[in-house]
Amino acid sequence: EAGVAQSPRYKIIEKRQSVAFWCNPISGHATLYWYQQILGQGPKLLIQFQNNGVVDDSQLPKDRFSAERLKGVDSTLKIQPAKLEDSAVYLCASSFEGDEAFFGPGTRLTVL
């Protein structure tokens, strides 16, 4: 069974630039999560989708972050414009009806 795919694996940008991350969850997994993990901390939920609907985006900084999952399958997370404090690993995970979560390899973002 293929796992959760993410791209790119690494990204370096300057502050005020834009960046987008892509996630393809495991086939059949209706729930998709985007997490931000700052070095030394546990993952923080940014947004949770159930199919193509948003379940929880309460911790998403909506002035600069946006995410979509148009067809209920893959998803993109965008940051526009990026700030220094956005440097983190962005993790995508999927699960089948809130069951065990499977994580992608993450995208390590460095904002200079």
Q: How far is the CB of 93 from another protein (least distance, A)?
A: 8
In whole angstroms, give the CA distance from residue 30 to residue 88.
Answer: 26
Instruction: Say if residues 50 and 37 touch (Cβ distance below 8 Å).
Output: no
Q: Which is nearer to another protein, 74 or 103 (CB)?
A: 103
Count of residues that interact with another protein, criterion CB under 8 A: 29
Binding map of another protein across residues 51-90, x = CB under 8 A, - = no contact? ----xx--------------------------------x-
In whole angstroms, give the CA distance from residue 52 to residue 8.
Answer: 22
Check binding of 102 to another protein (CB under 8 A): yes
Binding piece for another protein, criterion CB under 8 A, among 11-19, 32-40, 64-72, 77-85: 32-40
